[in-house]
Amino acid sequence: MDATEWLADYRSRLDRIAQGARQASESVRDIGATASSPRGEVTVSVNAGGALQGVTLTPMARRLEADALAELIVTTAREAQRLAGARMAEVMEDYLGDSPALARITQHLPTEAGR
């Protein structure tokens, strides 16, 4: 392979890598999750990073004591974060494969989301 062929091949590989990175970025941007409490009093939505996006309380939530409601919100938020983390791991596995880079990313996800 001469230098021109090598350079063309190298550019082609870089283009494929860049396209994969763009696709992964778009997929990650769309990740989020919503979880509801077992009886439906609380629904929590989070983004790809697990940051809170919204909390919805139904009339049933008003019947709960403040401490119980607070705990239910936290528990439901953790479940939404776990779901978002699991989705993040799936998207990144498609992009990175089963690699040390994937292990590095998933080690920081909420428990059960990492591999």
At residue 115, the pLDDT reads 39
The pTM assigned to this predicted structure is 0.71
At 13, the amino acid letter reads R
Cα 108 → chain centroid: 11
Superfamily of domain 31-106: Nucleoid-associated protein YbaB-like domain (3.30.1310.10)
The answer to whether the CB of 45 falls within 8 A of the CB of 57 is no
At residue 112, the pLDDT reads 53
**Of 109 and 76, the one with more pLDDT:** 76
Sorted by where each begins, the domain ranges of the chain are 31-106
Judged on CB neighbours under 10 Å (0-12, 13-18, 19+), 63 is exposed
Query: What is the rounded CA–CA span in Å between residue 40 and residue 107?
Result: 31
Residue 45 clears pLDDT 90, i.e. is over it: yes
